[in-house]
């Protein structure tokens, strides 16, 4: 079993700074897209509601209109979440239920998880104290770990993501464990470094780096255990 904790800061090269600027531009474009998509969505839903009102109760087309309306609501919800993540904001600590944070993160990445045919198992202790966190930031961390887990299992015959949470020694420990092939030993010491990625052009190399920064700003730690049958990331956050 290979295990490590947070890695030290490293210098960022000019090429990496240029990459950051491109990512910032992509983020701004994504926020603009999310903002602009609301108007046509509201128009679509308005016409759908009007059409449904004109139908009789047993009209066979009604079920199809309901499917379209649910899909439009789903797009609207995802766009709203994109805007929430893109807005500039100061840290706002609030007491949150761990289960609520996990559920919110799962709703955000559900399409990605389903597309990768990943089975998700939750093992949450029934009674957990609430933790003081920046809700948006911590959900972003959970989303990143869930997406990473799904990507790690892309070529596995068994794709199971187990999310567990328990309380011990004045901390709440939240673990995201996958059934992928594990992390190569030579890469373990670098996974929290900015711009290091094993996803090639599909990865930015910033997800785990940002996750570590967020967790440490909450006075917590993030560790990883990996072997040939999977990888587990554990976030430990203080209760007080």
pLDDT in tens, 112-133: 888 889 999 999 998 899 999 9
What band does 5 get if pLDDT is binned at 50, 70 and 90? Answer: very low
Q: What is the pLDDT of residue 22?
A: 59
**Sign, Cα dihedral of 219, 4, 162, 145:** positive
Look at residues 230, 94, 96 and name the one whose alpha carbon lies nearest to residue 158. 230
Average pLDDT, the chain: 81
The closest of 74, 165, 91 to 133, measured between CA atoms, is 91
Task: Give the percent of the chain with pLDDT over 90.
Answer: 35
Q: Where are the domains of the chain?
A: 2-11+92-238, 37-86
2-11+92-238, what's its fold? Heat Shock Protein 90 (3.30.565)
Question: Which tens digits make up the pLDDT trace of 50-88?
Answer: 887 888 877 888 778 777 887 777 777 767 766 666 665
Model confidence pTM above 0.75: no
DSSP 154: T
Task: Tell me if 118 sits within 8 A of 150, measured CB to CB.
Answer: yes
């Amino acid at each position: 079993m290979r295990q490590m904790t947070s890695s030290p800061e490293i210098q960022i090269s000019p090429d990496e700074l240029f990459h950051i600027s491109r990512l910032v531009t992509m983020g701004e474009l994504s926020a603009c897209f999310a903002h602009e998509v609301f108007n046509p969505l509201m128009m679509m839903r308005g016409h759908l509601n009007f059409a449904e009102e004109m139908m009789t109760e047993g009209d066979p087309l009604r079920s199809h209109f309901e499917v379209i309306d649910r899909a439009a609501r789903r797009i609207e919800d995802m766009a709203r979440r994109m805007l929430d993540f893109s807005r500039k904001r100061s840290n706002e600590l609030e007491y949150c239920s761990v289960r609520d944070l996990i559920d919110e993160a799962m709703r955000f990445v559900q399409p990605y998880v389903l597309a990768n045919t990943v089975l998700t198992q939750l093992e949450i202790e029934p009674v957990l104290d609430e933790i003081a966190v920046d809700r948006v930031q911590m959900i972003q961390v959970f989303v990143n770990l869930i997406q990473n887990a799904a990507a790690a299992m892309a070529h596995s015959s068994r794709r199971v993501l187990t999310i567990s949470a328990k309380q011990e020694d004045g901390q709440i420990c939240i673990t995201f464990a996958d059934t992928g092939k594990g992390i190569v030993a030579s890469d373990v010491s670098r996974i929290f470094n900015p711009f290091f990625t094993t996803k090639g052009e599909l990865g930015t190399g910033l997800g785990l780096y940002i996750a570590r920064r967020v967790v440490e700003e909450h006075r917590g730690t993030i560790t990883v255990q990996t072997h040939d049958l999977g990888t587990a990331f554990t976030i430990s956050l203080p209760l007080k």
